Amino acid sequence: MAKAAIITGSTSGIGLGMAESLAGAGYNIMFNGLARDEKEKNAAEEVAKKTAERYEVKTLFSPANMMKPEEIREMCAWAEKDFGQVDVLVNNAGIQHVSPIDEFPEEKWDAIIAINLTAAFHTSKAVWKGMKSRGFGRIINLTSAHALRASEFKSAYVSSKHGVTGLTKTLALEGAPHGITCNAICPGYVMTPLVQNQIEDQMKAHNMERDEVVEKVMLYKHAIKDFAQVHELGALAVFLASDEAKMITGVSIPVDGGWTAR
């Protein structure tokens, strides 16, 4: 039976890159992402369909909201039933909010902790029994350089990502007797549509050329003044999912151009 992966937040950016890489390696894919209306749902279903055709794998799309544990459990059960197994779980869905602590909206704190951290507990719990019974599982958490370092004005994001680092280590220990590994990928800046738009905004705000914005505003913490690309993160996920990575567990792997070497 073909191996299967659930990737949360895979309708855009890094999650979509992960889905392409894992589908390219022959995995059936459960896509997931927010679909606030029929148009967004159709667009997400189209992404899943195109991926299935291109890589000759099976795909599904679930609009499960990562803030709703019941929807998370339904998504995981659907993947398990339709694909017959879930070998890989990529906890990727994430949101950000930037604000000083005294002005930080409480509902933003709650949403960031729910989506970035608590959802990874619910997904992992939901796939755990199946992985344990088959003696194989790979949980890959998309954290951030902010799982290892802080930046001002990102209290909720940094706290949520540091929390996932703790979850990663704990699941590594609990999974060890059952062939389940759990690791985190910690990107610095990654070239996604979100970041592309930020560059254009910063060019206007600072009255700078693109290269200057990239080097002086965005990548000043990177030693390598470049962005990671989503397929590079996808290639790492494919490796972490493989049999050859069986001894790698409980670690946070920076893909940050040297940011956390400082």
Separation CA 124–CA 252 (nearest Å): 17
The footprint of ligand NAD on residues 20-39 (CB under 6 A) is 32-34
- Could you confirm whether 189 is annotated as catalytic? no
Separation CA 81–CA 155 (nearest Å): 39
Range in contact with ligand NAD (rule: CB under 6 A) among 13-21, 45-53, 123-131, 234-242? 13-21
Q: Name the residue type at position 179.
A: G
Residue 212: CA atoms inside 13 Å, Cβ hemisphere, count?
8
| Residue 14 touches ligand NAD, criterion: CB under 6 A | yes
Nearer to ligand NAD, 179 or 235 (CB): 235
The footprint of ligand NAD on residues 165-194 (CB under 6 A) is 187, 189-190, 192, 194
Neighbours of 81 (CB within 10 A): 8
Phi, psi at 166, each rounded to 5°: -65, -40
Contacting ligand NAD (CB under 6 A), which of 3, 7, 11, 213? 11
| Residue 15 touches ligand NAD, criterion: CB under 6 A | yes
Nearer to ligand NAD, 136 or 228 (CB): 228
Distances (CA, A) of 172 to 5, 14, 63, 117: 18, 23, 28, 16
Nearer to ligand NAD, 115 or 136 (CB): 115
How many positions of this chain bind ligand NAD (CB under 6 A)?
Answer: 26
Compute the least distance from the CB of residue 179 to ligand NAD, in Å: 26
Neighbours of 192 (CB within 10 A): 20
Nearer to ligand NAD, 62 or 181 (CB): 62
| Residue 213 touches ligand NAD, criterion: CB under 6 A | no
Tokens of 223: 């030693």
Closest CA relative to residue 87, chosen from 42, 17, 25, 158: 25
Binding residues for ligand NAD, rule: CB under 6 A, are: 9-15, 32-34, 65-67, 92-95, 115, 142, 144, 187, 189-190, 192, 194-195
Active site (catalytic) residues: 157
